[in-house]
């Protein structure tokens, strides 16, 4: 056997590896002498010990008693012990031991001797290095355990028993304890227990001392296990330990005159042979520990039938024998569990006998016993779960799940203890994950994880009663599991994404084991595969229970049975698949067809009946199905059983028939004993007689048959076993089967801190967990419980986001929002105070917004509830200021869009508490306030409690960081962002027609501000939001007929969006600008109120984004907004500023906006709202724009290609410019009118624009129209309205002549040139003859002849005008007819009498015509 590697710690506190120096011999001599004197003094109190007369005829008549003589001799020798070698401890211990052993001594003397022994052991006089230390320690134990003394009074007896306990404890505590043998340790434990038994009839103090001492002894013994070397012990040795050394028999010592702690008077178990056992004589180690545990388990069995008597000591009620034994076992396991796995035989005992007893006592009605059992199992799980896989499954199935539910008859106390134990397990971070991996994913285990999760979630719901401690306890367990999962998300990969390939063909999967339970890459794939198989099996079981044929077909279809059924695989399916209908299974196994018979025999071969009694084997066999009622089926089933049992136990029966006959007989006995209709029961003799000579003509051993008889009588073989797998009691046969399976089951998988399986776990738990925690949160008021629930909610949110279970997160958000009380429709007089006083509501609110800001990516429909909560907080006025629009800047870092209204606009009203009185505006409103004002009623001040509540409410709103939801919305996923925008739009509402200020306008404005904020923050994803935002703003604009704050936010929010987004979204420029057309649809009153500010915003937009506006539609929208301002007194200045920015120097003019810009300039030029200088500036812009046309023409020609169409477009723009200027030329203001004529002249005579002949003809039509209008104005309108029209007419005539000269070359090619020329002369003639106020205009009279003369000279030089013989309709004649009406002298001046020379000269000067023409134009 293994010995100690290091000494046990000594009471002095020295370390186990620190050698303690032996006490000085002089000190030892003093101690010995002192103790001898003490014992002798006590002995001398009784005269019988003073001297003894012997009639032996010796010399001395008075001799000392041998006990006294021995003590005196020791005293003399001790004085002579000086230096030198060590002293054998037996020399100074034996006299005291003799006193202890003697039955002649009374209790005081024995107590004194025991005290001396205790002192010498405590002072380490018996050290580990002393000579013959093992013999000395053995002698001490033998003497003390065999202590005999005369009882004089109860008090002294109790004192002696206490001294015995002290000495025995000192033996196992001292440094010489390793010298004890296994037998002596067992004797110490046995003696301590006998003292405990005897103390039951003694005083309370001794009872407590004895129990505590035995606890200490057990602790000292098992504390040595970590220091023991692991060795292999033969099975025979372990078998020899059992039943030796310790017993639980009760002693009848209360009425004797003598007390003997040893039942035999000499040895611990006199005659039992322990002393002769070599193993038990070795230094103490694993054998004695196994023996002690065996002894403690036997205490459980012996004490099972002990009844607590009414007059027993109260301690008997609290600490009865089973509880005491379990407490000792708990102490032993606590100290040794971490090392048990290194000692196979100790581990084997724990796995089998110890755990079986724990399972049995786990169903005790005593909460104390149940609690102790759960503590032991918890310790075993913590240290030995790798070796106790199936035992742990059985404990949860048969104990925890059974006792934690009232439907199985458990009391409230049992339920509470079971749930407390389960919660302790759940607080182990990997517990649930390991249960899932090892149980739920094992084909032969029940779904422990699912059952425990369901138990916790159901237990959290109160049933027809208020919330109880059980409900809160179950909620704590759920929260612990969820929090453990949430912590694991911080470390490791997500193995849940690993897909397991579908099974393509059948393979033997029943005994499949994982190649490596430590490599996650392998075991994760393995358990996922097993779980997939298990799910399909469960589906197959459901189908099979309804229809066997369809069940087999399904299992074959999913490759869980081979395509061609064979008996072996069908038998495995029947044997290892839980949930099968046992009635159906029994009928199938009993069928007479060949295939069913083969399946039956294969089914029997799956059982292991080795070392099992026939009744136990039969119990195990019949528990798997229901034995059918037909005798033939019973015959076939028992034949298969007998064949298998005989195959594995041939030493009992001579043939199979013997096993079959006895099996039949056992079934009959079972029916006879447990059928209530059988009145006359079979006796033992009847049963033995019925089975005579069945074993090949011989009788079976009577003891064998008697054991079977009484086993059947005590425990019925249930031929109708329980359906299902869970919550059934653990019978002995089932336990034997479990131990058989435990040797073949796959290795226990330990889950580390990585979330390998948590996706599956959370998917199962999420819904029930939210519901359970919500129920507790709703019904509890204790802040600590509320905090735990809140932590659970946040952990659920974290997991839902981590595994992208958006539905779970949305359900959680909706549930939490209900707890905020912000969605309640009931109005309170002081909602802020009510919210601040409600701790639960504030905690729920913080949780909601923590989830929203942290896991908003995965919120979908939940945004609706969140937005409703935000609106309620805004309504009661506790949101931070920046969330109510009180921002000062619109930079990127600002939270929300500030109002763009100037001081003339109505500002957003501040948010007041609901209880605040409303303000009245206007004269009558103020007057009515004065009428009803009562100065004697001061406004009530809030109390201190209200102030605290309001501060709490504000602090909660601050902690929520609601603004971050919107300012950080750019990080939200697309779906989440879209749902947030939809929630805001939905919350804002859609009023049909807004005629006055809305009651809930503040809500609509607030929602709009938030909507605009997220739009601006998500410029890169504007496509997701734009349609909804635009439609919302469009509805507001189109339904508003009066100015209000809502339409203000809508209009300027739209402008702000366009300003910010145009530079970044080229593909959306047209859509953004098209949206501005909504402003053009504003009601006149609304437009008038906001026109100036709209114009300012448009101006900013143009200045910042002109280069980004490319399309004609976009420019049309922008310029339309600018044009509107031309006639608005306050907005025209800003609008003209924008126009100047566009047209100045042509920097932003383009073919897309040229015509629009010219038209806008015309409107500003004609507008009388601005100054004359602005109109002239507008005309200059129009005139300067012609430079753009010349530049574009040049660029087109240089580029080459198909230029005609482009040049035609430029010519059309030029015509639009001409037409626009013509309209201004009739302006009432002189300066504007004359400047317009000059600008028109400038545009018409510009060079570089390709104007076709037809275009020139159209131009002259425009000019003729202009001149006619000017003549009409001059003749028909008052000079007061149109001042100095003479100058305007002069400019017009000059314009006509110069334009004619400019286009002369192009016009001569036209067939209608002559007609045009005559129209020009006719128009000039009109101007020559015009009269104002009855007189001709002198300036016209002077200028017109010269102008016509210049034209004629150019025409003459160009050869256009010459004397021909064409008749009276010729150009020559027609010209002079008209010219003579203007000035008769012009012909002679232009064509002197030398007509021929003039003609020749004309031909020669044709090449000079352009230069002359240009010169004339300049003149």
Q: Which residues are known catalytic residues?
A: 630
Residues in contact with 1407: Cβ distance below 8 Å, sequence separation at least 6, in sequence order: none
- The full DSSP string for 403-436 is HTSGGGT--HHHHHHHHHHHHHHHTSTTHHHHHI
DSSP annotation of 1075: H
CA distances from 1326 to 1278, 1378, 1385 (A): 20, 11, 18
DSSP string, 1123-1185: HHGGG-TTTHHHHHHHHHHHHGGGSS--TTTHHHHHHHHHHHHH-SSS-HHHHHHHHHHHHHH
Q: Is the dihedral of CA 1062, 1068, 1074, 1078 positive or negative?
A: negative
Q: Measuring CA to CA, which residue among 872, 941, 874, 942 is closest to residue 911?
A: 874
> Is residue 1099 within 8 Å of 1138, Cβ to Cβ?
yes
Rounded-to-integer distance, Cα 908 and Cα 298, Å? 85
Task: With CA atoms as reference, report the closest residue to 330 among 215, 247, 241.
Answer: 215
Cα separation, 413 vs 371, in Å, equals: 10
Torsion of Cα atoms, 347 then 349 then 352 then 358, to 10°: -100
Q: Determine the Cα–Cα distance for residues 102 and 67; give it in Å rounded to an integer.
A: 9
Reduced DSSP (H G I as helix, E B as strand, rest coil) percent helix, strand, coil of the chain, to 5: 65, 0, 35
- For 58, counting Cβ atoms within 10 Å of its Cβ (0-12 exposed, 13-18 middle, 19+ buried), the class is exposed
The radius of gyration of the chain's CA atoms, rounded to the nearest angstrom, is: 57
Is the C-alpha dihedral spanning 1106, 1107, 1112, 1114 positive or negative?
negative
- What's the residue count for the chain? 1419
Angle between helices 839-855 and 944-960 (to 10 degrees): 10
**Angle between helices 1045-1061 and 1022-1038 in degrees, nearest 10:** 150
Nearest to 773 by CA among 1173, 474, 337, 1101: 474
Tell me the sheet residues that pair with 1336: 1331
Written as six digits, the tokens of 348 are 């084997």
Q: Is the backbone of residue 243 left (phi > 0), alpha (psi -120 to 50) or beta?
A: left
What is the DSSP track for 1175-1237? HHHHHHHHHHHHHHHHHHHHHHHHH-SS-HHHHHHHHHHHHHHHHHHHHHTT-SSHHHHHHHH
Compute, in degrees rounded to 10, the torsion defined by CA atoms 207, 212, 218, 219.
180
**Closest residue by Cα to residue 769 from 741, 748, 784, 791:** 791
| Tokens found for residue 210 | 């004895």
Distance CA(172)–CA(170), nearest Å, equals 6
Q: Cβ(151)–Cβ(157) under 8 Å?
A: yes
What's the DSSP call for residue 500? P
């Amino acid at each position: 056997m293994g010995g100690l590697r290091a000494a046990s710690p000594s009471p002095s506190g020295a370390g186990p590896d620190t050698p303690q120096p032996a006490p000085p011999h002089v000190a030892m001599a003093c101690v010995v002498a002192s103790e001898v004197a003490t014992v002798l003094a006590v002995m001398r109190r009784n005269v019988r010990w003073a001297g003894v007369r012997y009639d032996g005829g010796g010399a001395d008549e008075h001799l000392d008693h041998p006990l006294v003589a021995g003590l005196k001799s020791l005293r003399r020798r001790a004085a002579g012990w000086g230096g030198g070698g060590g002293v054998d401890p037996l020399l100074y211990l034996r006299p005291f031991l003799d006193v202890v052993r003697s039955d002649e001594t009374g209790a005081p003397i024995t107590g004194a001797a025991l005290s001396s022994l205790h002192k010498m052991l405590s002072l380490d006089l018996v050290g580990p290095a002393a000579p013959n230390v093992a013999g000395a320690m053995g002698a001490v134990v033998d003497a003390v355990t065999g202590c005999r003394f005369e009882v004089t009074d109860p008090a002294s007896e109790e004192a002696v028993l206490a001294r015995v306990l002290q000495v025995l404890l000192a033996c196992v505590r001292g440094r010489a304890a390793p010298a004890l043998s296994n037998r002596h340790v067992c004797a110490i434990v046995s003696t301590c227990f006998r003292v405990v038994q005897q103390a039951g009839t003694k005083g309370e103090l001794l009872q407590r001392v004895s129990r505590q001492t035995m606890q200490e002894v057990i602790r000292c013994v098992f504390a040595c296990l970590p220091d023991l070397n692991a060795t292999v012990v033969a099975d025979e040795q372990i078998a020899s330990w059992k039943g030796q050394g310790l017993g639980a028999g009760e002693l009848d010592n209360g009425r004797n005159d003598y007390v003997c702690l040893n039942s035999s008077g000499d040895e611990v178990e006199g005659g039992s042979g322990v002393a002769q056992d070599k193993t038990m004589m070795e230094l103490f180690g694993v054998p004695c520990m196994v023996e002690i545990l065996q002894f403690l388990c036997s205490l459980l069995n012996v004490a099972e039938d002990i009844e607590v008597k009414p007059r027993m000591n109260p301690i008997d009620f609290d600490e009865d024998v089973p509880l005491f034994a379990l407490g000792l076992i708990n102490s032993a396991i606590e100290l040794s569990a971490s090392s048990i796995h290194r000692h196979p035989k100790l581990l084997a005992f724990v796995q089998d006998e110890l755990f079986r007893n724990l399972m049995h006592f786990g169903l005790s009605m005593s909460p104390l016993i149940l609690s102790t059992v759960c503590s032991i199992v918890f310790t075993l799980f913590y240290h030995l779960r790798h070796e106790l896989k199936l035992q742990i499954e059985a404990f949860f199935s048969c104990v925890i799940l059974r006792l934690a539910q009232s439907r199985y008859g458990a009391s409230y106390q049992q339920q509470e203890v079971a749930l407390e134990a389960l919660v302790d397990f759940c607080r182990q971070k990997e517990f649930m994950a390991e249960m899932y991996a090892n149980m739920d994913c094992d084909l032969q285990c029940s779904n422990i994880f699912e059952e425990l999760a369901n138990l916790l979630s159901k237990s959290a719901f109160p049933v027809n009663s208020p919330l109880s401690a059980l409900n809160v306890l179950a909620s704590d367990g759920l929260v612990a599991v969820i929090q453990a999962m949430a912590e694991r998300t911080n470390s490791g990969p997500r193995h849940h994404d690993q897909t397991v390939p579908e099974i393509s063909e059948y393979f033997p999967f029943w005994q499949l084991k994982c190649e490596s339970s430590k490599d996650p890459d392998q075991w994760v794939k393995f358990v996922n595969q097993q779980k997939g198989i298990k799910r399909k099996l469960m589906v197959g079981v459901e189908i099979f229970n309804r229809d066997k044929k369809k069940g087999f077909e399904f299992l074959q279809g999913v490759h869980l049975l081979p395509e061609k059924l064979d008996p072996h695989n069908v038998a495995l399916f029947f044997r290892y698949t839980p949930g099968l209908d046992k009635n159906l299974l029994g009928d199938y196994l009993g069928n007479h067809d060949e295939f069913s018979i083969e399946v039956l025999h294969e089914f029997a071969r799956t059982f292991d009946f080795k070392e099992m009694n026939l009744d136990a084997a039969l119990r195990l066999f019949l528990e798997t199905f229901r034995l059918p009622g037909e005798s033939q089926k019973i015959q076939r089933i028992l034949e298969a059983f007998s064949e298998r049992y005989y195959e594995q136990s041939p030493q009992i029966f001579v043939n199979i028939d013997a096993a079959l006959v006895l099996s039949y007989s056992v079934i009959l006995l079972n029916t006879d004993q447990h059928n209530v209709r059988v009145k006359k029961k079979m006796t033992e003799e009847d049963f033995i007689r019925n089975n005579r000579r069945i074993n090949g003509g011989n009788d079976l051993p009577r003891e064998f048959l008697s054991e079977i008889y009484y086993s059947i009588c005590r425990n019925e073989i249930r031929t109708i076993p329980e359906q299902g797998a869970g919550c059934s009691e653990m019978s002995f046969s089932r336990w034997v089967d479990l131990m058989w399976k435990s040797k073949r089951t796959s290795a226990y998988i330990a889950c580390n801190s990585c979330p390998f399986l948590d996706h599956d776990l959370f998917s199962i738990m999420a819904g029930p967990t939210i519901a359970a925690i919500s129920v507790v949160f709703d019904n509890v008021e204790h802040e600590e419980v509320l905090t735990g629930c809140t932590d659970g909610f946040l952990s659920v949110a974290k997991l839902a986001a981590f595994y992208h279970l958006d539905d779970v997160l949305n359900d959680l958000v909706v549930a939490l929002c209900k707890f905020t009380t912000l969605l309640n429709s009931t109005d309170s007089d002081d909602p802020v105070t009510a919210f601040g006083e409600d701790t639960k509501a504030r905690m729920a609110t913080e949780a909601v917004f923590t989830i929203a800001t942290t896991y908003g990516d995965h919120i979908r429909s939940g945004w609706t509830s969140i937005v409703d909560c935000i609106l309620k907080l805004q309504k009661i006025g506790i949101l931070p200021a920046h969330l109510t629009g009180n921002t000062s800047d619109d930079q990127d870092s600002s939270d929300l869009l500030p109002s763009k209204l100037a001081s003339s606009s109505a500002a957003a009203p501040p948010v007041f508490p609901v209880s605040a009185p409303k303000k009245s505006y206007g004269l009558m409103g103020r007057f009515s306030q004065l009428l009803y004002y009562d100065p004697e009623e001061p406004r009530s001040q809030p109390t201190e409690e209200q102030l605290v509540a309001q501060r709490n409410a504000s602090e909660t709103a601050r902690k929520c960081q609601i603004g971050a939801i919107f300012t950080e919305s750019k990080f939200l996923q697309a779906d989440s962002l879209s749902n947030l925008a939809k929630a805001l739009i939905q919350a804002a509402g859609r009023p049909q027609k807004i005629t006055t200020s809305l009651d809930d306008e503040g809500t609509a404005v607030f929602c709009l501000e938030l909507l605009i904020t997220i739009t601006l923050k998500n410029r890169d994803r504007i496509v997701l939001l734009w349609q909804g935002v635009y439609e919302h703003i469009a509805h507001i604009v189109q339904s508003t007929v009066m100015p209000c704050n809502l339409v203000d936010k809508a209009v300027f929010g739209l402008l702000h969006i366009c300003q910010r987004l145009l530079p970044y979204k080229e593909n959306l420029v047209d859509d953004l600008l098209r949206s501005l057309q909504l402003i053009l649809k504003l009601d006149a009153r609304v437009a008038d109120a906001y026109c100036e500010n709209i114009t300012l915003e448009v101006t900013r937009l143009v200045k910042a984004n002109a280069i980004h506006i490319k399309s004609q539609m976009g420019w049309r929208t922008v310029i339309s907004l600018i044009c509107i301002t031309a006639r608005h007194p306050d907005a025209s200045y800003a609008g003209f500023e924008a126009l100047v920015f566009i047209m100045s120097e042509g920097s932003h003019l383009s073919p897309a906006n040229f015509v629009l810009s010219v038209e806008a300039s015309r409107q500003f030029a004609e507008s009388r709202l601005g100054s004359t200088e602005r109109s002239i500036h507008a005309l200059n812009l129009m005139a300067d724009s012609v430079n753009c046309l010349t530049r574009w023409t040049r660029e087109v020609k240089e580029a080459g290609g198909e230029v005609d169409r482009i040049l035609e477009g430029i010519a059309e723009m030029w015509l639009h410019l001409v037409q626009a200027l013509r309209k201004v030329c009739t302006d009432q203001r002189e300066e504007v009118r004359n400047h317009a004529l000059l600008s028109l002249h400038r545009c018409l005579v510009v060079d570089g624009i390709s104007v076709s002949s037809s275009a020139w003809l159209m131009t002259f039509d425009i000019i003729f129209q202009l001149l006619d209008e000017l003549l009409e104005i001059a003749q028909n309108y008052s000079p007061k309205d149109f001042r100095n029209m003479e100058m305007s007419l002069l400019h017009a005539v000059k314009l006509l002549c110069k334009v004619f000269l400019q286009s002369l070359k192009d016009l001569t090619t036209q067939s209608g040139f002559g007609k045009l020329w005559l129209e020009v002369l006719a128009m000039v003639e009109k101007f020559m003859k015009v009269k104002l106020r009855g007189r001709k205009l002198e300036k016209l009279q002077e200028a017109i002849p010269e102008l016509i003369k210049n034209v004629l000279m150019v025409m003459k030089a160009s050869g256009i005008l010459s004397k021909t013989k064409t008749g009276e309709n010729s150009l020559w004649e027609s010209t002079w007819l008209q010219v003579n009406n203007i000035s008769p002298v012009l012909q002679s001046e232009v064509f002197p009498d030398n007509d021929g020379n003039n003609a020749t000269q004309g031909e020669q000067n044709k090449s000079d015509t352009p230069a002359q023409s240009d010169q004339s134009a300049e003149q």
